[in-house]
Structure 1
Amino acid sequence: MQAPGSLQAQGNDAFAAYESHFLEELWKLNPDWATDEGYHKYDSLLVVPDDKSRDNMMNFIKVQKDSLARYEANDLTELNRMDYQLMQNQLEYEAWKISVLKDYQWNPTHYNPFSAFAAILNGHYAPLTKRLRNFYQKMANLPAYYKEAQKQIKNPAPELTALAIEQQNGGVSVIEKDFADSLKKTNIPANEQKLMTDRVKLAAQSVRDYISFLQNIKNDKPHSFRLGKTLYEDKFKYAMQSAYSAQQLFNMATERKKQVHRDMAKLSRQLWPKYFGKKAMPADSLDMIAQVLDTLSAKHTTPAELQSAIEKQLPVLSAFVKSKDLLTLDPGKPLEVRKQPAYFGNAAVASMSSPGPYDKNAKSYYNIISLKGLSPEKAESYLREYNNYTLQILSIHEAIPGHYVQLIYANKAPSLIKALFGSGAMVEGWAVYGEQMMLDNGYDDSPEMKLMWYKWHLRSVCNSILDFNVHANNMTKEDALKFLTHEAFQQQAEAEGKWKRVSVTSVQLDSYYDGYKEIMDLRDAYKAKMGDKYRLKEFNEKFLSYGNAPVKLIRNAMLGAK
């Protein structure tokens, strides 16, 4: 007779083997996702997004739910139990998207394969000739892919249609120009190159036909981009994996905004004489804050020097993290600042593209919006938003010790599941937490920087208020812009960009404040638990060791709760 401990070990070994099988089956159905994560076995495949592919996914969900049910979660190790919960949530979320949300019918951005195509071209995981041949094979299904997209879409949301057109116009260059440029670097025989370039023409034409379809679609009853309260709460539950509901987060963010306004007013009164002398302060505290912020925002870089200004910040941030012993950094993981790829569409000013857990040594890209082609007024508005103070906070958030660092740690996590199915709130929350941690440890302790950080922090707070108000409470564009410019002190260009973002995404904007709040609460609880043994670096590294797992699951693990 075997001892219970050995039975438990067998169960955990079996679960680890099952995880590998689970992922292999998932990647067959989602080759684009696999490519983006650095798993290249199915690079040559492009799944046509038709009823059959959705039926295949629903069948996968049913089979895997049955398989998961064979394991008793409480008999698994703590780390395996986390994976179990993440897999369960992922399956339920995928089923909900297909059977309830059905955004493949009204969201044309659902059809955007360019990230996977670009990853094949830009990667270094295989010889270029092999990657180009995979690219060539993958292109074969593009005409069918876009034909199916046209068949599925009925009365789409106009805001999402506009973004899709922008993305597709950017994506054509990946198929045509980027592929052609790569082809020139190979010695692939001329007759094979001819087959490839002929297929490029067909593939590019299918993209242009889709663009034309979207530009001319008959749209008598356009679908609203707003989810409504019920769908919003559902999506929040799956996407955030939060300790809170969407309504609870909205209520907490509303209270946090009031506190931040009080702290900003205090700092602004302190700075007023330095910048305005004996000029009378406005009676309205928000007006006073706005005037001080506006004066400080005049210190900024130029459109031409935006990228180089960011590049110069990164070694400074690394040196500070090391000097304060906040985290162990890995100097062997390359980071490159680049202009944001066109197929992203300009829905965000900056982002981080990090290598997936299967391709850990690939380059991380810090993507920055290009200000080229903008009117002088709009460019100036952006630069005032990303002034000499906030540009540093942006780089803390996106790079060091924010996303770049956290996602490198995630790739070292003890399981692929935690890296792949993690919580966006944990990822974004860490970046927001990192901003405050840097300032709390003395990074530019001037009142000017503190005030600007509060303004930046208001973004996270107001993101949650805005997203909930727009999607669940039908907030108008006019009210949203007034809220962002007056109560969050954002420049007009930033506010309009945020309106665009809230009209083409949902719930994602909640992740910043949700994750930050949960991490700060966890740190306080962990500090109390550890007493004299508490060390910030130890907390940070232990927290990051759980990959991208939701904060509520990490909390249970770090505090020893069930």
Structure 2
Amino acid sequence: MKIVLACLFLLIMPFLAQSSELYEPIQTFQADRSALSRKYSNHLSEEYFERFGRLYKNWLDKVQNLDYAALSDDGKIDYLAFRNYLQKQLFFHEKEFADYKEVEDVKDFASELEAFYIFRRSAQKPNAKAIAKQFTTAQRSVQSKLEKLKETTPYTSWQKAELAANIIKELKVTLEEAYLFYYDYDPSFTWWVKKPWELLATSLEDYEKALTDHYENTIVKDDGSGIIGKPIGAEAIKKELEFELIPYTALELIDEAEKQFAFCEKEMLKASQELGYGNDWKAALEHVKNTYVPAGEWPGDVYDLAVEATQYVEKHDLITVPELAKETWRTKMMSPEAQRVNPFFLGGEAIIISYPTSTMTQAEKLMSMRGNNPHFSRATVQHEIIPGHHLQGFMNQRHKPYRRMFYTPFWIEGWALYWELNLWDKNFPGNAEDKVGMLFWRMHRCARIIFSLNYHLGNMTPQECIDFLVDKVGHEYANAEAEVRRSFEGNYGPLYQIAYMVGGLQFYALKAEMVDNGDMGEKEFHDFIMTQNTLPIELIRARIKGKTLSKDHRTSWRFLDKNNW
């Protein structure tokens, strides 16, 4: 046993050595949050909001009371990242609590119901006859509220109506868990409560459905595209950018995206002329789309492209690629359902490949094949595997893994996009068709900034976003629709789509500061970043430059101001 423990210690010692003084507090916070989340399962209840508000405030106090000056360099970075994380969680938690309070009267009948599921946690035998009476009384109250709903003032937006409906949905789910804890295990409870619960559950379902449609049509829910997202507005965008340590406004970022797009168009014209299409770069784009390969051959081609990208970065000594990282990545095929929101690749340890299936129409098959042609894909396979997402994930598991809590898409997607910029500079495109493929994706990332921010600012509808991608970038319509659906209905934060290009430009600017001026070698630069795990890139900049930030640091790195595109 002693030998086993000694060997285990030797295995984990390198991970402990690279951890800062904040390792244990960060791990403890995550354990606290997970435990409380399992305990307080109704996330749309006052009990939940109050308890998690205390959690974030207590931990924020603990962190801010640390002796910042006494921390190591990594400790200071972790302090700033942890504090920023807690401030962000608390800010949006309180915002969600305020939204909840605006509509919480939809369950003003539920105090005894909530007392029942709280009592259930004690596992004590309930007063079944009293519970049956409470359920019956509550069911009558719900029916009364349902009947009077048409006479009450509708909510001012569909979002409020949806929140009200979800409050009732979460109440029912939590009650059902408590009910099933006793049902059939407690004969008395089953005899008294079975019928009242069935009636109450049906009424709650009816009430939830009615609330969903109880709003004035002053804010369009569906513009005809069938894509229903939740624009968050200018103030929330401003706060999101602050917490990501991005010192620019939404309008400034849109302006930068338009400048980047102009650069891409200029380069597209060169590639178009090289292919013999003159200034009609969209004709050149059509030519490239039609280089698609037959179904069945494509997965093997994708594999070969991934190997080529890995060999390229190793041949040019750009980054360290562990042998196990090369050994362990895999391939999968994207389901037809998933292709509705992910018409291209997804990546990580497995690259997930989109291509037609028998369930698609002929038009859908053609759009999928044209959108996943070899030249488009050569520009992004390295984004997904090596040196992109697979290598990121591989290294994140092995270097400061506790920092994964600070997950930011500006690091995740920004790093992968940065390689597209870097490889363009190194003439990675083998011919004009490859250039068109790389430029198409670069245009798309610019377009993501423009359409997603404008959507959240209330300036564009989903249908306008689709049309923008088709007209401005040259997307196949179905692929554009899937991209917009992914942006607004997928499990992504409101800044996720801008994080590709903006994060990429952060890394690109940092490379200019550290490598292009001769302070570091390029491989040394890339390897260092891979040891830092996911952090706001401004904090990585401070660490790599050996710069000590103040305890009250606020974002100040204007990484776009010296852009020479």
Distance change (3 Å), C-alpha of 1:398 and 1:309: same
- Asked if residue 23 in structure 1 is aligned to residue 20 in structure 2, the reply is no
The secondary structure found in structure 2 opposite 1:389 is: helix
The secondary structure found in structure 1 opposite 2:352 is: strand
Deviation for aligned residue 1:328:
1.6
Deviation for aligned residue 1:456:
0.8
1:38-61 CA-partner distances (Å, limit 9, x unpaired): xxxxxxx89342323333221110
1:293-346 CA-partner distances (Å, limit 9, x unpaired): 101110113444444432333323222222222222223242222234799784
From 235, 238, 243, the counterpart of 1:230: 235
Kept in 2, the 8 Å contact 1:300–1:388? The answer is yes
The secondary structure found in structure 2 opposite 1:530 is: coil
More off after superposition, 375-384 vs 243-252 = 243-252
Match runs of 1:328-343 below 5 Å: 328-333=320-325, 334-340=328-334
Distance change (3 Å), C-alpha of 1:84 and 1:456: same
1:325-379 CA-partner distances (Å, limit 9, x unpaired): 222222324222223479978433356575xxxxxxxxx2323446432211122
Match runs of 1:163-312 below 5 Å: 217-221=212-216, 225-238=230-243, 240-272=244-276, 281=278, 285=279, 288-312=280-304
Match runs of 1:414-453 below 5 Å: 414=400, 416=402, 418-453=403-438
Distance change (3 Å), C-alpha of 1:459 and 1:325: same
- Asked if residue 482 in structure 1 is aligned to residue 477 in structure 2, the reply is no
Give the Cα–Cα distance (whole angstroms) in 2 for the partners of residues 406 and 211 of structure 1.
47
Give the Cα–Cα distance (whole angstroms) in 1 for the partners of residues 37 and 337 of structure 2.
20
From 503, 512, 515, the counterpart of 2:488: 503
Counterpart position of 1:182: none
Deviation for aligned residue 1:453:
0.5
1:50-100 CA-partner distances (Å, limit 9, x unpaired): 323333221110110110111133432221122112212222222233222
Distance change (3 Å), C-alpha of 1:57 and 1:485: same
Give the Cα–Cα distance (whole angstroms) in 2 for the partners of residues 211 and 443 of structure 1.
59
Counterpart position of 2:513: 525
1:227-253 CA-partner distances (Å, limit 9, x unpaired): 121122222333x33243333222211
The secondary structure found in structure 1 opposite 2:332 is: strand
More off after superposition, 516-525 vs 252-261 = 252-261
Counterpart position of 1:189: none
Match runs of 1:309-320 below 5 Å: 309-320=301-312
More off after superposition, 62-71 vs 522-531 = 522-531
Counterpart position of 2:554: none
Distance change (3 Å), C-alpha of 1:306 and 1:30: farther
Counterpart position of 1:56: 51
Letter in 2 for 1:385: G
Match runs of 1:92-111 below 5 Å: 92-101=87-96
1:176-234 CA-partner distances (Å, limit 9, x unpaired): xxxxxxxxxxxxxxxxxxxxxxxxxxxxxx9xx99997799434347762112112222
From 384, 389, 400, the counterpart of 1:403: 389
RMSD: 3.5
Deviation for aligned residue 1:435:
2.0
From 509, 516, 532, the counterpart of 2:504: 516
Letter in 1 for 2:41: V
Distance change (3 Å), C-alpha of 1:73 and 1:248: farther
Letter in 1 for 2:35: K
Give the Cα–Cα distance (whole angstroms) in 1 for the partners of residues 378 and 98 of structure 2.
37
Kept in 1, the 8 Å contact 2:158–2:215? The answer is no
Give the Cα–Cα distance (whole angstroms) in 2 for the partners of residues 422 and 536 of structure 1.
25
Give the Cα–Cα distance (whole angstroms) in 2 for the partners of residues 444 and 69 of structure 1.
49
Distance change (3 Å), C-alpha of 1:332 and 1:212: farther
From 85, 94, 114, the counterpart of 1:90: 85
From 81, 89, 98, the counterpart of 2:76: 81
Kept in 2, the 8 Å contact 1:82–1:549? The answer is no
Give the Cα–Cα distance (whole angstroms) in 2 for the partners of residues 474 and 211 of structure 1.
35
Give the Cα–Cα distance (whole angstroms) in 1 for the partners of residues 445 and 96 of structure 2.
26
Q: TM-score, normalised by structure 2?
A: 0.67
1:395-424 CA-partner distances (Å, limit 9, x unpaired): 1111121111122222222351x2221321
Counterpart position of 1:194: none
Letter in 2 for 1:70: N
Distance change (3 Å), C-alpha of 1:527 and 1:61: same
Give the Cα–Cα distance (whole angstroms) in 2 for the partners of residues 215 and 495 of structure 1.
33
Letter in 2 for 1:236: L
Kept in 1, the 8 Å contact 2:429–2:438? The answer is no
Question: Larger C-alpha radius of gyration, 1 or 2?
Answer: 2
Distance change (3 Å), C-alpha of 1:259 and 1:245: same
Give the Cα–Cα distance (whole angstroms) in 2 for the partners of residues 319 and 21 of structure 1.
41
Letter in 2 for 1:550: P
Distance change (3 Å), C-alpha of 1:256 and 1:212: farther
Distance change (3 Å), C-alpha of 1:326 and 1:210: farther
Kept in 2, the 8 Å contact 1:439–1:445? The answer is no
Deviation for aligned residue 1:289:
0.7
